[in-house]
Structure 1
Amino acid sequence: MNITMNQKGTSEVAIVESADVLIREVQDALDLMANVRYAHDCHKIVIRKENLTEEFFELRTKLAGDILQKFTNYQVKLAIVGDFSQYNSKSLRDFIYECNHGRHFFFVADEQAALDALHEV
């Protein structure tokens, strides 16, 4: 895993890059937040869709809700970069829509959109 920082004014965003699935369960998300928060003093994270287990995108598993609740509890904002058009679930599309209209979580197509969203909040 490689973490690079992107800064715009006083806003800093950690960009996490890895070829591996980094988040398979809630504890993995907590570990990532702790690593970024304490090693880089940052509370905004960009991660790729491929770094999340596919179970995250199956809302019936409740994994997405549990993980995003931890991000909320620890006041860490998250942008997930990827192509989400492959998912046919109306519930997931609605979930993504609602997240994108909030101020904590963003599901975006590219890294620049992720940075723009996180630097604004």
Structure 2
Amino acid sequence: MPDVMRELSGVPVLVCDPAGPPLATMEDALDLIGAAFLGAEVVAVPASRLDGHFFSLGTRFAGEVMQKFVNHRLRLAVVGDISRHLAASSALRALVHESNLGEHVWFLPDLDALDARLAAAG
């Protein structure tokens, strides 16, 4: 399945294909941002597509990717199970917690949770 535009709770979302290419570089992130300019307000990226160094905060990759999305006025939703990464890093747990309190970057278990979050944000 290719990346597809869907509407969740009235919000246009670019839902990325779990089998798509990994998000491993800033170029990869910018490609997703470019694809989102076809009308998306949110980009839902499966956690499985994120390169392992995204979850290693010392690389700064996660922060750079998140900042690019914010700068382009796009919300980023990392969708899927990241429990093994959370178990390995208290700093990542803190980042996920703080991000989920905000409006721009969310870490959610599935698309149903994203739909509920968008509905609540209204």
Shared fold per TM-score greater than 0.5: yes
Alpha-carbon distance in structure 1 between the residues aligned to 2:9 and 2:98: 28
Report the TM-score when normalising by structure 1: 0.88
Question: Within 5 A, what are the aligned runs for 1:16-55?
Answer: 16-37=16-37, 40-55=38-53
Q: Secondary structure at the match of 1:23?
A: coil
Alpha-carbon distance in structure 2 between the residues aligned to 1:9 and 1:100: 18
Residue 115 of structure 1 and its aligned partner are, at CA, apart by 2.6
- The equivalent residue for 2:94 is 94
For the 8 Å contact 1:46–1:115, the answer to whether it is kept is no
Alpha-carbon distance in structure 2 between the residues aligned to 1:18 and 1:110: 12
Where does the alignment leave 5 or more consecutive residues of structure 1 unmatched? none
Where does the alignment leave 5 or more consecutive residues of structure 2 unmatched? none
Write the deviation string for residues 4-40 of structure 1: whole angstroms up to 9, x where unpaired. 2222564211111131443101111011110121xx3
Alpha-carbon distance in structure 2 between the residues aligned to 1:111 and 1:8: 9
**Aligned-residue RMSD, C-alpha:** 1.8
Q: Secondary structure at the match of 1:17?
A: coil
Alpha-carbon distance in structure 2 between the residues aligned to 1:41 and 1:69: 20
Q: How many residue pairs get matched? A: 119
Judge which range, 99-108 or 20-29, deviates more. Answer: 20-29
- The equivalent residue for 1:117 is 117
Q: Partner letter of residue 45 of structure 2?
A: I
Gap change, CA 1:17 and 1:67, over 3 Å in 2? same
Judge which range, 92-101 or 20-29, deviates more. Answer: 20-29
Gap change, CA 1:115 and 1:101, over 3 Å in 2? same
